Structure 1
């Protein structure tokens, strides 16, 4: 294959990413959806039926589940005659490339990435699949610093249900494979071992070689500094002695609400830390840097904030919220189901007043000029806007060095009687303090498999559906976490699809109907748009009924009736797409 060739009349090859006897990986352009993808096919060593069987096996492994830290499989393409087929996998393009060959990472950053991979492996193992080839080259880095696990060509199914790879020698990478993998008997703990070796390699910047021997295990562990105890357990030659992935992830993730203090007298009883002494200099005192190791991650007290949102889909906005910091304004309650998935709310009930809603929402990097005065708080730029009517607004802008991002803080009350901006400032003070201590914690509140939190809004409206309603198929523009998507530039109409959660709609002001077999409401025009909400699922939280819904809005300079017809049509198509994805696992 050459640059410019087209696969399956759709994917135009742009450039080679990986090439060799065992396989080819290309960056390609999807002519239908107008997006970059990665296409992969077997190399000369596995041509024809053997290669097709390999890729089918890998496709089945990838199709078993969706996870924010696993490369997304879009399609499996098989062309040519049955006796000599040409097979391709079509996957999401992860622009940052693999972690192999990079300069050494700080222990806290290596821990953050490996914690994400550990979460992906937990999901894999729940489907009775062992990856069998965890290494830096198979961990890709997205544009926002998210780790994505790739290459399931060596995956192995457990419990006698057959291997994912064909019978024969088990694929593995020397130096990263657990001892039992070398004997052809992989098990879930094998991935724990390989992840431990990978963690070492990311910190030291070099291949660890044959890490299985006991004499090497101790040396590797020492080189990982404050992570040494965990790494040593992960590299134990006996699979039964290795920690579970849940233990690994907990040991690598930053704990919610961790406080770092440089005063030794206030650190009594805490796990750790080490003094890194610097050689004496005449007329100067000895210098030292104090590092703290708590049940989470490595931090440096003071200094530059290490804030980063990291992977958008697993970042926990509720890690920034603390009802306790606003209790002086009334009775408070934390509600993680009050708004979109990128948001967490604290409700405040002042005496004899309407409820106050404190919203903390994660957004991408801000690209506009501040809309108000800017001040420095815990090392962050905080934009303070003046109160307007029923709302006071603050914006925390994260430094680009950590991947960027924005925390939007809005405090609302109707009618406004409480000191809304004082409440906003208290919430911002706490949130910036949390961010200063390190990367944002990952979500601990688990959602069921049918939750919209696991879906990608940009995949729910295909090109044919958009052309039918809009006359063209504009390129999707994902919002934070892909829980929202916009399609603009389609002539006179624009489309916005959002995943929402909160209290059930009472239907007042909307037209009730049913779409895709689900309750739905079509809302009359507000401005130039018509919105249709389709209830996806209903559940209970602390005795209160909650719903998740798909909210689709069509805007444009067309008659109101047409906007609402297209809104309902596209909302139903999106709801059916979710049902189809769930039916296929």
Structure 2
């Protein structure tokens, strides 16, 4: 399984979110512009495409739970931390991904200064807090149990992470990455893959691309486990590579591409196609265009055929790859 999928955690993988988060800047960070006061995500964060989500984290705020450290880059959209608890459990904390505010009126909403935080009900091994902006965009802070005791206080960790993010927002400590003009971070995936191509996937005949607030993801179809869906994400981390027997390296539209049944099980109808782009952050890391296709009722082999076809449509619209 791709590290970008693996680090999202099991609940997110099952429901499709593409797992995925990193923190090493693509270029030298620069100070954010003076914030506006209307409370929208763009006013508070600035250019949503270039936000460095690791500037919204504070490992010291997690000391009451255990030692925290950066877990490496698997996404442009969030920062991933690993928290090792005193009882030996290992928790991953993802901070910074932007999405639409949750439509769950039963979840408590508590004030944090000028902001509000939604306290989502926990799931087994998973707990999320969401910092709300005035335009109904939410900044997610999610804790997932990787190893250890299910009673490890995941919601307390998520709460501490959300409080630290809210403090960074209120103190105008949001940092930004400098990306070159041909970076994937500055390209909307909805402009890369035509919805007419996606509509050839059974069940997606009328699907239209839905962009994420930061413009790094485009999704087609309902994002639930039993529905057909396609997602194109511009992300970063390790270069795509063959990790199991249900993966293959090939050339699609002139670009080196790794096509892989997610998880390596051909019975799972989920397949990814990934191609590397420009260098990013730490030595050896690259930007990555990641296309994921789910076709419930079919096999992973079927999903990979659709992924190949869609990659062949999308890759020519990406900026030229690094030489």
TM-score surpassing 0.5? yes
Relative distance call for 1:569 and 1:357 in structure 2 (3 A) is same
Greater share of helix:
1
2:16 alignment partner in structure 1: none
C-alpha distance in 2, partners of 1:559/1:415? 32
In the TM superposition, structure 1's runs of 4+ consecutive aligned residues that sit over 6 Å from their partners are: 304-307, 525-528
Find the partner of 1:522 among 234, 241, 260.
Answer: 260
1:394 alignment partner in structure 2: 129
Cα-to-partner distance string for 1:34-90 (whole Å, 9 max, x where unaligned): xxxxxxxxxxxxxxxxxxxxxxxxxxxxxxxxxxxxxxxxxxxxxxxxxxxxxxxxx
Please give the root-mean-square deviation of Cα atoms over the aligned residues, in Å: 3.8
Relative distance call for 1:565 and 1:425 in structure 2 (3 A) is same
2:162 alignment partner in structure 1: 428
Three-state SS of the structure 1 residue aligned to 2:55 is: helix
C-alpha distance in 2, partners of 1:509/1:410? 31
Matched, 1:532 2:265: no
Do the aligned partners of 1:515 and 1:534 also contact (CA within 8 Å) in 2?
no
1:253 alignment partner in structure 2: 33
C-alpha distance in 2, partners of 1:527/1:408? 32
Relative distance call for 1:562 and 1:415 in structure 2 (3 A) is same
Give TM-score scaled by structure 1 length.
0.41
1:456 alignment partner in structure 2: 188
1:441 alignment partner in structure 2: 174
Matched, 1:486 2:219: yes
1:349 alignment partner in structure 2: 84
What are the ranges of 5 or more consecutive residues in structure 1 without an aligned counterpart? Answer: 1-248, 255-296
1:576 alignment partner in structure 2: 316
Matched, 1:409 2:141: yes
Do the aligned partners of 2:269 and 2:298 also contact (CA within 8 Å) in 1?
no
C-alpha distance in 1, partners of 2:247/2:281? 27
- Following TM superposition, by how much is the alpha carbon of 1:334 offset from its aligned partner in structure 2, in angstroms? 3.6
1:475 alignment partner in structure 2: 208
Do the aligned partners of 2:88 and 2:148 also contact (CA within 8 Å) in 1?
no
Relative distance call for 1:373 and 1:522 in structure 2 (3 A) is same
Matched, 1:311 2:47: yes
Cα-to-partner distance string for 1:542-582 (whole Å, 9 max, x where unaligned): 56x4343332233345532433211222124323321xx33
Three-state SS of the structure 2 residue aligned to 1:501 is: strand
Cα-to-partner distance string for 1:475-519 (whole Å, 9 max, x where unaligned): 322122221112349xx9542212233345661364223232414
- Following TM superposition, by how much is the alpha carbon of 1:531 offset from its aligned partner in structure 2, in angstroms? 2.0
Do the aligned partners of 1:347 and 1:355 also contact (CA within 8 Å) in 2?
yes
Give TM-score scaled by structure 2 length.
0.70
Do the aligned partners of 1:485 and 1:496 also contact (CA within 8 Å) in 2?
yes
Do the aligned partners of 1:384 and 1:395 also contact (CA within 8 Å) in 2?
yes
Cα-to-partner distance string for 1:90-120 (whole Å, 9 max, x where unaligned): xxxxxxxxxxxxxxxxxxxxxxxxxxxxxxx
Relative distance call for 1:565 and 1:341 in structure 2 (3 A) is same
Relative distance call for 1:415 and 1:446 in structure 2 (3 A) is same
Higher RCO structure (Cα 8 Å, ≥6 apart): 2
Higher deviation after alignment, 316-325 or 362-371: 362-371
Relative distance call for 1:389 and 1:559 in structure 2 (3 A) is closer
- Following TM superposition, by how much is the alpha carbon of 1:313 offset from its aligned partner in structure 2, in angstroms? 1.3
Do the aligned partners of 1:534 and 1:575 also contact (CA within 8 Å) in 2?
no
- Following TM superposition, by how much is the alpha carbon of 1:368 offset from its aligned partner in structure 2, in angstroms? 0.5
What pairs up with 1:167-566 in 2 under 5 angstroms? 253-254=33-34, 308-334=44-70, 338-350=73-85, 353=88, 355-366=90-101, 368-370=103-105, 372-398=107-133, 400=134, 403-417=135-149, 418-437=152-171, 441-443=174-176, 445-462=177-194, 465-466=197-198, 474-488=207-221, 494-503=229-238, 507-508=243-244, 510-516=246-252, 517-524=255-262, 529-537=269-277, 539=279, 541=281, 545-557=284-296, 559-560=298-299, 561-566=301-306
Do the aligned partners of 1:339 and 1:500 also contact (CA within 8 Å) in 2?
yes
Three-state SS of the structure 1 residue aligned to 2:289 is: strand
- Following TM superposition, by how much is the alpha carbon of 1:457 offset from its aligned partner in structure 2, in angstroms? 0.5
C-alpha distance in 2, partners of 1:413/1:558? 30
What are the ranges of 5 or more consecutive residues in structure 2 without an aligned counterpart? Answer: 1-29
C-alpha distance in 1, partners of 2:259/2:73? 19
Relative distance call for 1:319 and 1:555 in structure 2 (3 A) is same
- Following TM superposition, by how much is the alpha carbon of 1:520 offset from its aligned partner in structure 2, in angstroms? 0.3
C-alpha distance in 2, partners of 1:407/1:434? 12
1:180 alignment partner in structure 2: none
C-alpha distance in 1, partners of 2:179/2:159? 31
The count of aligned residue pairs is: 279
Higher deviation after alignment, 413-422 or 479-488: 413-422
